[in-house]
């Protein structure tokens, strides 16, 4: 969808903002550009909608060289979200959101109907918020309106420049979660600029790590964190990159362990402990030893959750294991995770060699009584 071919931006004073960039963003992919201030990531993004013109090379959007396209028409086809949001203070939330469809010639009623749909999509009830003005909204709410406005003309490409940087950490995390939910529905091609590595890792399908005007590594979050391409990238992602990988490594069925499963607490078993499920295969508790009464099971996580979520849940309980459910099959019990299993899953999610697994007989977790 977006292709950079040997793109350089050099200013009149001799400063080179970016040099010989060549990369491609696939349709429906979310790519995060991350790096220190002044590294060229924002320049890269602004060249896509011709707010900045490249000195050399060319940029193609869906196969068309953007230098041959009217810049105003180009920008109306590309959604743009910035940190300061940029809402018109004298216009209501609904009219702010309807701006681009109206500029593209949509009748006012149709533009406002589209705006109402998008406000609802980003979690703002148009009946409640549509007639308010930007000053009547919180920072997080204004940011949501900015995203809705960028999507109003149904653009194929969305450019986002530090979109969540102006809000506090709690609101930022909530907005990131909401944006991931939204992206799973609309599947836009997104370039997102951030200086926050954790945000880049959490949001990006792939990450471009910038040095000084060049891309040092362009790969998936797991690969960037697990196998930095250069000493610069290794230093940038930090010595705690193993912990950061927890956020981008999912809980997979192949990594689960399987203690005995009972249909009712009184059933016998030959193991230190066992899981109890109901008639539908859903988790119903656990038995700490043969002949013991059943206890409530720890809080479960679903398959596909991140190892970070799993580890957080594991640390909240003292059993030493974590049940995992399968949302694709009615939240049936699927197996358990232990600290050792999380470690193996984390090691197996990188290009590095995975250590040999223990024999199956030695892998039954020992819970804390």
Q: What is the pLDDT of residues 190-241, one digit of tens each?
A: 999 999 898 999 999 999 999 999 999 999 998 999 899 999 999 999 888 8
Residue 85 has a pLDDT of: 66
Q: Which residues contact 235 (CB under 8 A, 6 or more apart)?
A: none
**Band (355; pLDDT cuts 50, 70, 90):** very low
Whether 2-248 shares its CATH topology with 253-362 is answered no
Instruction: Quote the pLDDT of residue 86.
Output: 77
Handedness of CA 49, 54, 59, 64 (dihedral sign): positive
Top pLDDT among 245 and 93 is at: 93
pLDDT for res 369: 52
Q: Is residue 351 predicted with pLDDT exceeding 60?
A: no
Q: With bands split at pLDDT 50, 70 and 90, how would you rate the model's confidence at 68?
A: very high
| Domain 253-362: assigned CATH number | 3.10.580.10
Mean pLDDT score across all residues of the chain: 87
Query: Can you tell me the distance from the alpha carbon of 128 to that of 199, in angstroms, rounded to the nearest whole number?
Result: 30
Reported as a pLDDT band with limits 50, 70 and 90, residue 360 is very low
Question: Within a 13 Å sphere around the CA of 313, how many CA atoms are in the beta-carbon half?
Answer: 22
pLDDT at position 177 over 90 = no
Total-model pTM: 0.76
Asked if 23 and 210 count as a contact pair (C-beta separation under 8 A), the reply is no
Q: Using alpha carbons, list the distances in angstroms from residue 144 to 25, 95, 136, 169, 364.
A: 24, 14, 14, 16, 46
Whose CA is closest to 113, among 95, 90, 129? 95
The superfamily in CATH containing domain 2-248 is P-loop containing nucleotide triphosphate hydrolases (3.40.50.300)
Give exposure, 21-34, as e/b (b: 16+ Cβ within 10 Å).
Answer: bebebeeebbbbbb
Q: Which of 38-47, 174-183, 228-237, 330-339 has the lowest mean pLDDT?
A: 174-183
CA distance 161 to 151: 15
Q: Distance between CA atoms of 303 and 205, rounded to whole angstroms?
A: 19
At residue 357, the pLDDT reads: 41
Domain spans of the chain? 2-248, 253-362
């Amino acid at each position: 969808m977006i292709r950079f071919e040997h793109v350089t931006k050099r200013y009149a004073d001799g400063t080179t903002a970016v040099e010989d960039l060549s990369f491609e963003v696939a349709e429906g992919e979310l790519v995060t550009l991350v790096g220190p201030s002044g590294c060229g990531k924002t320049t890269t993004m602004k060249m896509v909608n011709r707010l900045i013109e490249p000195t050399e090379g060319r940029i193609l959007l869906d196969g068309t060289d953007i230098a041959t396209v009217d810049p105003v028409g180009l920008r109306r086809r590309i959604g743009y979200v910035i940190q300061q949001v940029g809402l018109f203070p004298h216009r209501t939330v609904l009219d702010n959101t309807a701006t681009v469809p109206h500029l593209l010639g949509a009748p006012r009623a149709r533009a406002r109907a589209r705006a109402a749909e998008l406000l609802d999509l980003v979690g703002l009830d148009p009946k409640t918020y549509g007639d308010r003005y930007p000053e009547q909204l919180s920072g997080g709410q204004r940011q949501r309106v900015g995203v809705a406005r960028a999507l109003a003309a149904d653009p194929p490409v969305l450019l986002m420049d530090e979109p969540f940087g102006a809000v506090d950490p709690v609101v930022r995390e909530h907005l990131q979660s909401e944006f991931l939910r939204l992206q799973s529905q609309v599947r836009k091609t997104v370039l997102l600029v951030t200086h926050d590595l954790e945000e880049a890792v959490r949001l990006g399908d792939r990450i471009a790590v910038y040095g000084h005007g060049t891309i040092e590594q362009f790969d998936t979050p797991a690969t960037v964190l697990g196998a930095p391409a250069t000493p610069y990238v290794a230093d940038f992602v930090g010595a705690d990159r193993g912990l950061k990988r927890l956020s981008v490594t999912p809980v997979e069925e192949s990594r689960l362990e399987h203690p005995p499963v009972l249909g009712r607490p009184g059933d016998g078993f030959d193991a230190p402990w066992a899981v109890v499920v109901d008639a539908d295969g859903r988790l119903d508790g656990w038995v700490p030893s043969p002949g013991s009464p059943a206890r409530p099971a720890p809080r479960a996580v679903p398959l596909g959750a991140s190892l970070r979520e799993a580890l957080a849940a594991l640390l909240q309980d003292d059993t030493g294991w974590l049940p995992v459910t399968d949302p694709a099959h009615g939240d049936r019990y699927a197996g358990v995770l232990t600290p050792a299993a999380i470690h193996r899953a984390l090691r197996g999610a990188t290009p590095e060699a995975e250590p040999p697994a223990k024999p199956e007989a030695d892998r039954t977790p020992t819970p804390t009584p």
